[in-house]
Amino acid sequence: MSRIIGISDIHGEYYKLCSVLDKIAPQKDDTIVFMGDYIDRGAKSREVVDKIIDMQNVCNCVYLIGSHEYAMLQAKTDDYYNYLFWNYGGDATADSYGCFDNIMKIHGDFFNNLKPYHIINNYMFVHAGIRIGIPLDQQDLTDMVYIRSEFYNKPHQLPYKIIFGHTEFEKPQVQNDKICIDTGCGKYPKAPLTAIICENGKETFVNSD
């Protein structure tokens, strides 16, 4: 049976990404939903993006936008997001690419085509969450990449189990209608990268070494 795999909040931690992928050993019929925040903080953002793009040669891949990609894309034209990018680890990303302008020169097509969310089977994958009570087709992208407690502290009414990241916890947070898989990778040196595997109606987790 094919598996649906979610990975979020890598934050430039290339070796932790490789560790998780090695443990999961994706197969041709599997689908990996990469859920955003590939860049910033860790030293190898460019290598992370190269790796997840290359995974298209291994299995089905879907790429979502995270808050850090959103800030990076807005940084040149919006002072607020410029501040966010540079003050939340963007210097590490610029160093990884050689300079800020190289980010879009090298991976512009990738960053410009990131999706806000992905629905597959009974699951919805999104970086941060949704604004509860707002129809899905009317959701604001900034909520989908930045929302926190207004989403995860309340039940939602969508007919999917929502898999999300963005807000870090020591271990995956499993609720009846949602699961958060951000365990602090890139923010805390010893924090693992956590992946979720959805298979046969059950969810399991894999941590990097």
pLDDT at 1: 78
Cα separation of 84 and 50, whole Å? Answer: 24
Cα separation of 4 and 105, whole Å? Answer: 31
Residue 198, helix vs strand vs coil: strand
Backbone angles phi, psi at 193, to 5 degrees: -90, 130
Put simply, whether the predicted model's pTM sits higher than 0.85 gets the answer: yes
Instruction: Report residue 124 CA to chain centroid gap.
Output: 13
pLDDT at 199: 97
Mean pLDDT of 72-100: 98
Query: What are the tokens at 37?
Result: 């925040």
Mean pLDDT of 92-120: 98
Residue position matching structure tokens 């689908």: 31
Q: Model confidence at 63, in pLDDT bands (50, 70, 90)? A: very high
Enumerate domains of the chain plus CATH numbers.
31-115 (no CATH), 120-209 (3.60.21.10)
CA distances (Å), 52 to each of 33, 45, 75, 89, in order?
Answer: 10, 11, 23, 20
pLDDT at 33: 99
